[in-house]
Amino acid sequence: MLSTSRTYNPLDKSGLEALKGSEPARFEYRVGGGAYLNLQGVPLASLPEIDEEKIAVLARVVRGLIFASLNASKSGHPGGSSSKTEQLLTLLASGVLGFDAWHPKHPGRDRVVWSAGHCTPLLHSTVSLVYEALRRKGMKSPTDQHVLIHYPEDLVRFRSFGGPSGHVESDSPLADTSTGSSGHGFSAGLGFAVLHRSCGLATRAFVLAGDAETEEGMSYEARNVASALGMRNLVVTMDFNGHGIDGPITDAMPAPYLNHWIAPGWNVIEVNGHDILELAYAYRLAEQNFGPEQPTVVLCHCIKGKHYGRLENTSDSHGTPLSHAEYVEVMKKLDFDIPGNQKDVAADIAVVMSALGEGETDYLLERLRAAAARIRPEAELRERITVTLAGRPMADYTSLERPATLPPELVFPEGGAAPTRKATEAWFDWAMKHTAFFYLGAGDLMKSILTGKAENVYGVVSRTNPLGRGLRFGIAEQNMAMMSAAMAQDRLPGGFRPMSAFATYGVFTPMMANSVRMTLINNDVNQHQRAFFIMLAAHDGPETGEDGPTHHGLFWMSLFDAYPGIKVYKPLDANETIEMLFLAAKRGEPVALSVARPPTPVLKRGGDVAPAIEAVNGAYILRPFRGNGKRKLVLAVCGGQMMSNLLEILPDVEEAADVKIVAVTAPSLFEELRDRDPKKAEEILSDEDRRRVVTLHNGWPGFLYPFLLPSDYRSRAFGMNKYSRSGAPKDIYKDFGFHPAGMREKILGSLR
């Protein structure tokens, strides 16, 4: 800057101009970031393995299949599928992608994520082309279990029940996670990239994406973390066509599109997305780690809906099918002389496939062999993991069995008090020392939620510690959930199954709901890639009273309790928390685990009180009927502080009733017990008892509805069903009427 004694008044136009004239550098900002290269229009030397003419024929065939399948279904997504066609085929032929068509789920393969999960016309058409080529040469189809192969004739059932799916599902070749919600694929690809690098593997994650989905907030979260970690094994091939569904992306992203990648520090290569040679060079440059050690985006300038008639280069091409007559015209312009009978799309597909000559078939198979040759044998890769992680237990979460005698660090003195978050801290630390494939992090809340002890066993993943197991996400709950859940979906060479835990306050967990939902769907459609993760809902209940209603975790469980494939666990004390964590690992089913911040009474066991391990049934008898001849009353209680307050006034209640207390830790687990062991469930809560139940929960009343008759929901279900105000937890409990005196009134009132 210039040294001057002159003064300026930037509020005055002349003063502003004077400052600009004397110190112009003050008005300039030079954007930093990764390396940048624009290959558009560069006269590139030919590459011997890249036969542009044959790939162009393959692209024409794939587009024909795309348009035919869309005409059959009269629904789907032509725009992005057609604009990405050259990208996918060139990536497949480039020699950069490790993919074995004969073993498409080989654990040593590169991972492919369709962030643009709606582009199934392209995915299914390309997969059917690949396996038609194998079929024509009499080659065997894949023997992988749980892999769904489609052939061209199957495309007539696109988006029909039992036919090729409308959005990407991971039981397909060339797809490694189920996608469809915009922007989630960036985080999933990042999860795969981090997982593999942290195990010493050279595997890459390729993400096929559309420009409009970068409007999604979690895509920014993923880009930041990817750059911060220097994930050079993450490559995004971006369909930059300028259109969303409703209009141009500039409606929501007015800054130059490059800014959204340069600013977070990515390497950027710009190409014509329909120029096969430019694409091939870009993918190879990304493989050679063009630029600094950063992730790379190949920014492909494309035409949305390319060759799709009047809808070409429009936002409407995203999901609008052409009329049948327009479809026939488009196909003929692509040189497919189809019969055009609306009721016989199979005949159209046969015409399209007749354009696949022997030369193109041989070339495709040659490039598929080259892609398969990139993958090292699984035994070699397993050994690489073992050497890289020397000194760590080569075991995954399936080995985390509960010891017959729990180690001292996992036992909390009965009769005392301990925050249940101290139990998760202890168990995570124990688990981290017993498996090399456990990943853990929190949304910038490590010091509060207490994940740091376990994270520090192997350290936090960073540029200088790529083999760490702790994760720093920042305040980015969506990316945290999707990235962590994707890591847990994967299967490493040697069959190792990663697990993950990610944490935030219970009140913030709904921000992660869609990432969780997407993973649960993936678990359902692809049993082979079932993810086990723990979503830690910390500071649950009104225990964060002083923070006010913005931080009271009262209702979050209502959302996750409705999702198939995940269970909400709410242990009452620290010892139950330990038992339920072991149960979760044994079951391998995702859980949303509630833990509290303040010290919670650790129940005294023995006598009438069942051991803490009974919590794994979802409910157990804490105190049986006394047989005192009085009216029988069953109290089903969820929440450690709720139970403590109840026990304080229990003698008063017993003056009016013979009381049985059922401790509830997970209603959905108890429902399973009713199916699995009806006799035991009946002992805990019989049908006769159900007529006498009053439920008490320090949150959404509906969480305990399964313990009631429907007619009793309004009169006998007591919970917290409004927003409170800031105050000490005891004051919040009083405000809701769940302090001892208030509970006495509620319970005795139910007997009237």
pLDDT on residue 4: 55
* Euclidean distance between CA atoms 385 and 200, whole angstroms: 6
**Residue 388 within a domain:** no
How much is the pTM? 0.96
Rounded to a whole number of angstroms, the distance between the first and last alpha carbons of the chain is 82
**Residue 605 within a domain:** no
**Residue 382 within a domain:** no
Burial 683-711 (b: 16+ CB within 10 A, else e): ebbeeebeebbbbbbbbbbbbbbbbbeee
pLDDT on residue 368: 98
Are residues 120 and 91 both part of a single domain? Answer: yes
Would residue 186 be called left, alpha or beta, if left means φ above 0 and alpha means ψ between -120 and 50 degrees? Answer: alpha
Residues 135, 116 contacting (CB under 8 angstroms): no
The boundaries of the domain holding residue 229 are 37-375
Residues 467, 392 contacting (CB under 8 angstroms): no
What tokens appear for 346 in the block? 């199979």
* Euclidean distance between CA atoms 86 and 302, whole angstroms: 10
* CATH of residue 240: 3.40.50.970
pLDDT on residue 608: 82
Angle at which helices 120-136 and 85-93 pack, to 10 degrees? Answer: 40
pLDDT on residue 144: 77
What tokens appear for 689 in the block? 């008892």
pLDDT on residue 752: 80
Are residues 469 and 347 both part of a single domain? Answer: no
Are residues 590 and 633 both part of a single domain? Answer: no
How far is CA 569 from its chain centroid? 20
Are residues 359 and 325 both part of a single domain? Answer: yes
Q: Is the pLDDT of residue 90 over 70?
A: yes
pLDDT on residue 55: 98
Q: Is the pLDDT of residue 464 over 70?
A: yes
Per the document, the length of the chain is: 752
**Which spans in 336-375 are helix H?**
345-354, 358-373
Are residues 640 and 519 both part of a single domain? Answer: no
Residues 287, 295 contacting (CB under 8 angstroms): no
Are residues 575 and 679 both part of a single domain? Answer: no
pLDDT on residue 1: 44
* DSSP letters for 645-684: HHHHHHHHHHTT-EEEEEEES-HHHHHHHHHH-HHHHHHH
Closest CA to 93 of 19, 202, 174, 20: 174
| Mean pLDDT, all residues of the chain | 95
* CATH of residue 684: 3.40.50.920
* Euclidean distance between CA atoms 108 and 204, whole angstroms: 10
Q: What is the CA radius of gyration of the chain?
A: 30
- Torsion, Cα 367 369 371 374, to 10 degrees, reads -140
Residue 129, judged by CB atoms within 10 A of its CB (0-12, 13-18, 19+), counts as: buried
Are residues 214 and 239 both part of a single domain? Answer: yes
Residues 254-294: tens digit of each pLDDT: 999 999 999 999 999 999 999 999 999 999 999 998 999 99
pLDDT on residue 393: 98
Residues 134-185: tens digit of each pLDDT: 999 998 878 777 899 999 999 999 999 999 999 999 999 999 999 998 889 9
What tokens appear for 235 in the block? 């490559």
Residues 385, 189 contacting (CB under 8 angstroms): no
**How many distinct structural domains can be found in the chain?**
4
**Residue 612 within a domain:** no
Are residues 321 and 449 both part of a single domain? Answer: no
**Residue 672 within a domain:** yes
Are residues 216 and 198 both part of a single domain? Answer: yes
pLDDT class of 359 with cuts at 50, 70, 90: very high
Q: Is the pLDDT of residue 103 over 80?
A: yes
Residues 300, 238 contacting (CB under 8 angstroms): yes
Are residues 137 and 232 both part of a single domain? Answer: yes
How far is CA 653 from its chain centroid? 47
- Torsion, Cα 613 618 619 620, to 10 degrees, reads -20
pLDDT class of 33 with cuts at 50, 70, 90: confident
> In a 3-state reduction of DSSP, which class is residue 342?
coil
Mean pLDDT of 240-253: 95
pLDDT on residue 145: 74
pLDDT on residue 275: 98
591 bridge partner residues:
534, 567
**Residue 242 within a domain:** yes
* Euclidean distance between CA atoms 125 and 67, whole angstroms: 10
Closest CA to 589 of 518, 653, 507, 527: 527
- Torsion, Cα 316 322 328 330, to 10 degrees, reads 0
> In a 3-state reduction of DSSP, which class is residue 457?
helix
* Euclidean distance between CA atoms 124 and 114, whole angstroms: 12
Q: Is the pLDDT of residue 583 over 50?
A: yes
pLDDT on residue 2: 46
Are residues 187 and 325 both part of a single domain? Answer: yes
**Residue 392 within a domain:** no
**Residue 652 within a domain:** yes
Are residues 534 and 418 both part of a single domain? Answer: yes
Residues 618-661: tens digit of each pLDDT: 999 999 999 999 999 999 999 999 999 999 999 999 999 999 99
pLDDT on residue 140: 83
Residues 6+ apart with CB under 8 A from 188: 113, 115, 177, 179, 207, 482, 483, 485, 486
Closest CA to 644 of 614, 670, 622, 666: 622
